[in-house]
Structure 1
């Protein structure tokens, strides 16, 4: 009877439905990403695929610059303001994000024009970088509005649909033997399409009008609030991609392509751990008020995650050859051993993701920043020593050291915050 009452609560039902749609969207994105990577790897070959992956790495390092005024700031502002101020809140956030994204895009294009990157890498990045102009200003702002209503279905459905269409267009370009540089523009087209659909949805819900306005004081507040979280996220993504940034100067693009192929599959596996953390966080961490109960939950969740990651890594280790050959083809045999070692990174990554929930629960933004600064510094130092001696395997050692450093900071904070 209690269970029925819980699910009769519209807030609980809406949250549960949102989690289901989030899971479907993530699984769809992971599946589409693997299919597209397989097609491009076979079409490009290891060397060109390595350049493609390096261009994507550069994009993922640059994109966090546009994440100013994150959801942790924007969503509570939407919730706490009267409904008639929605246009002012969204308009101010859009103006800030669009300004920052435009500057980031222009600086990226300037770097390409000045030949900061290898020519083909730059040509690929030119199209990929346009996604920055649409993702955060359009998609991010409207998605924050949807999150404030615990109703992300429109954005998730749109993302799933455009991902499948993008996979079809990639297939058509491969069949047409298109130049590698053209593929990046598909990602720009996808982000523009998602932004347009969500913009039309917002207008339909508001009588066909956008009605966004900029308020100077709110613009300044958004520019300053959440800066520490923003810097922490930049450090985190730089840490996650540091291995490929440093390997690019130490190994050939063909070897980088094989390493990136293995790491892309591994990162999709790690994403499942992050999805698990996001799913269980509200019930077992965020809503728990008692220190003793929260401490017990954290140790149980950490142990459960460790067991899950070890079991998953063991299975993927055994199937490494089968997976790499069927997804990427015979030219990527060298990725098999890298993948077998890389999947074990999911254990410290999963443990770190669970520990991070306490940091987020208490909004410990300086802990978050310090943690990823430490992880970045440790990984950089280890890479400097290990990559010249071990090559691609040295980069895995650097990632492992960084994850352990980040998990150690989480552990210290948990013991400090949840002490009896």
Structure 2
């Protein structure tokens, strides 16, 4: 069983690693093709879509997978998955309609409007059809989902490469690639599940849907707050600087996000054996300290290397016209240690199954970012948004340390009971 779990984790890590590599390659070609202003419009539209897509994160794997594991009967699992898919699809449609309404009412830039409408199409596919991924996860077999994801990533890089070599300069044209990738992945997942699912009719059970909504509400809120915290900076920054400057900021943060993803990859790789498999809270807390120490050092060293190499990295990925992004990347890289440390401290919250703690943390992070951005952006422009990013991650670490201290309470109670 341990070998199967380890193999499953390796497949997931492989997918995340390829997402980083392919993501950098594709975004670099887009940025070179459409220039800083076009790239700013593309990234701003993507930020709007990412925030709206959080609505479709209802009934997450944290709620679905345990239910699938508890009841292995194919008919019962199929019934559950149908309800989860219906809820996610309804939420996804609502999220997409919100995107269209927001850009129609608030945006005068036709490129942003059209790009947001097109790049918002994946909202309708990723999370609803991601229900199949939850089913695969419950079977400890993520390989098919990873393979389908690789197919989609390969399509994205190939299609963007063709558009780049063809000399395309239109952001909406590149947005269609992301829509096509989502449809390909969704169709492959649906086909795989259809071949293995029971052919039984499912009637809608309102009480089951209500329970799924209730049980997943806390995870849902925490994910929405997380995604808001990740992209609120660009929404607050756009009214205060030119699209050219926003393009440079978006370029620097894109590199930083891909580097920070390494922290979550490392954390998810070591978590099953180092933390989640520990029989006692004391051992889990001790191992979290080990992981946190190692990741803090890795984040600081990696951030220093990233800051030192910032001009070469920006030039390699984005080419000309993005020189300002190097200074912003050098400044924002100082938060690397904080992000890596936060990823490690979060493992204890997951171990304790305290989703409300995550809601508390991301609410504090989001509030801090908004306050700092509203004060610093008018004064410092793009650098002000970086200050907000650093401040938000500092608060995330402080919250994580606070949760670590709070976790001593159940351990002390258990010792007294013994």
Residues 214, 398 of structure 1: alpha-carbon distance in 2 compared, 3 angstrom cutoff: same
Q: Tell whether the 8 Å contact from 1:163 to 1:190 is kept in structure 2 after alignment.
A: yes
Q: 1:262 and 1:46 mapped to 2: Cα distance?
A: 12
Matched with 1:289 is 279
Match of 1:75 among 65, 75, 78: 65
Residues 112, 82 of structure 1: alpha-carbon distance in 2 compared, 3 angstrom cutoff: same
Matched with 1:201 is 192
1:28-107 equivalences in 2 (<5 Å): 28-83=18-73, 84-107=75-98
Q: Which moved more, 1:295-304 or 1:37-46?
A: 295-304
Deviation of residue 369 (structure 1)?
A: 0.8
Matched, 1:188 2:184: no
Q: 2:260 and 2:202 mapped to 1: Cα distance?
A: 38
- 1:45 partner SS: helix
Q: Tell whether the 8 Å contact from 2:115 to 2:175 is kept in structure 1 after alignment.
A: yes
Matched with 1:299 is 289
RMSD: 1.6
Matched with 2:320 is 330
Unaligned 5+ residue runs, structure 2?
Answer: 413-418
Matched with 1:387 is 377
Deviation of residue 176 (structure 1)?
A: 3.3
1:108-187 equivalences in 2 (<5 Å): 108-116=99-107, 118-138=109-129, 140-178=130-168, 179-187=170-178
- 1:273 partner SS: helix
- 2:176 partner SS: helix
Deviation of residue 110 (structure 1)?
A: 2.8
Q: Tell whether the 8 Å contact from 2:42 to 2:115 is kept in structure 1 after alignment.
A: yes
Q: 1:212 and 1:87 mapped to 2: Cα distance?
A: 8
Q: Tell whether the 8 Å contact from 1:352 to 1:410 is kept in structure 2 after alignment.
A: yes
Q: 1:112 and 1:410 mapped to 2: Cα distance?
A: 36
Q: 1:393 and 1:116 mapped to 2: Cα distance?
A: 24
Deviation of residue 78 (structure 1)?
A: 1.0
Deviation of residue 53 (structure 1)?
A: 0.9
Matched, 1:265 2:255: yes
TM-score, structure 2 normalization: 0.94
Q: Tell whether the 8 Å contact from 1:59 to 1:129 is kept in structure 2 after alignment.
A: yes
Q: Tell whether the 8 Å contact from 2:52 to 2:96 is kept in structure 1 after alignment.
A: no
Deviation of residue 212 (structure 1)?
A: 5.2
Q: 2:104 and 2:314 mapped to 1: Cα distance?
A: 36
Q: Tell whether the 8 Å contact from 1:92 to 1:213 is kept in structure 2 after alignment.
A: no
Residues 291, 27 of structure 1: alpha-carbon distance in 2 compared, 3 angstrom cutoff: closer
Deviations 1:338-372 (A, max 9, x none): 11122221211111111111111112122111111
Q: Tell whether the 8 Å contact from 1:90 to 1:212 is kept in structure 2 after alignment.
A: no
Number of residue pairs aligned between Structure 1 and Structure 2: 408
Deviation of residue 171 (structure 1)?
A: 1.8
Q: 1:99 and 1:215 mapped to 2: Cα distance?
A: 15
Unaligned 5+ residue runs, structure 1?
Answer: 1-10
Q: 2:296 and 2:102 mapped to 1: Cα distance?
A: 42
Q: 1:15 and 1:246 mapped to 2: Cα distance?
A: 42
Q: Tell whether the 8 Å contact from 1:111 to 1:117 is kept in structure 2 after alignment.
A: no
TM-score, structure 1 normalization: 0.93
